[in-house]
Structure 1
Amino acid sequence: MRKPHLPGTCSILAAPVLLLAGCVYSGMPPPYTGPHLSPTECRDLASLKSNAPPTMAQHQSELNALRKAGYDPSPWYDDPYYPDDLQAAQRLVDYWFQTECPHIQPG
C-alpha cells in the first residue's frame, strides 16, 4: 500500500534547510585579498610587543586590528564567548603580524 502524498510536504521541509543555509552563507565574510594590517598597526603592534610603555594610539591600533579579526568588545559585559573570542582574534592578529609585518622588528 502506498503512502498518501501530501502536497507541499517537500517544500515545507526544504524551507528551513534553505533558510539555515542562507543564514550560514550570509554570516561568512567575503574573502579578503589585501593586507589586513596597516603600516601604522604593524608599527604600533611591534611597539606593544617590545613591552615599552604603551600609548593610547597604540592601544587604539591594537583594538582596530582585533576588530578586523572579528572581535567585538560588547558594551553589555555578558558575552558568553569571552574570553575565547578575544583569544581567537588575538591569534589571528598575531598571524597577520607575522606574515604581513616581517620588516618590523619589536623594539
Structure 2
Amino acid sequence: MNLPLINQTLPSFDELIDLAETNPEGFAQFKHEMCKEMIMSASEEMQDRLWAQQSHIDRVVDNCKNPNHANVVLMRELVSQMVKFQDVLEGDTVETENNITAQIIPLADWR
C-alpha cells in the first residue's frame, strides 16, 4: 500500500526559538501536532510502534536538565539503535520479546 508522502513545512528556526521561549506550552502543542501528523501518515501497522517511540522520546526529554543534556541523551539513544540495526544487517542473531532467537540471513546469502 502506497501512502501519501507528508511534506511538513516548519516555521523558521528563529520563529521556533521565539515560540519556545515566549510560549513553551504553545511550542509543546506545535511539536505534538507535527509528530501526530507524521505518525498518522505512516501505515497503520507502524503507528503503534511510532507512538511508543515518540512516548519514549518525550519521557527521555522530560528527564533532561536542559536542551544540551536532551541532545546528548537522545544521541546516545540513536547510536544504540544504530548499533542494533548494524548487528541485524551483519547477520547477528536477534532476540525477540519472547526470548525466541531468530537467525538473520545476510542479504548476500539470501540471493
TM-score (norm 2): 0.29
Q: Which has the higher helix share?
A: 2
TM-score scaled by length of structure 1: 0.29
Which of the two has higher C-alpha Rg? 1
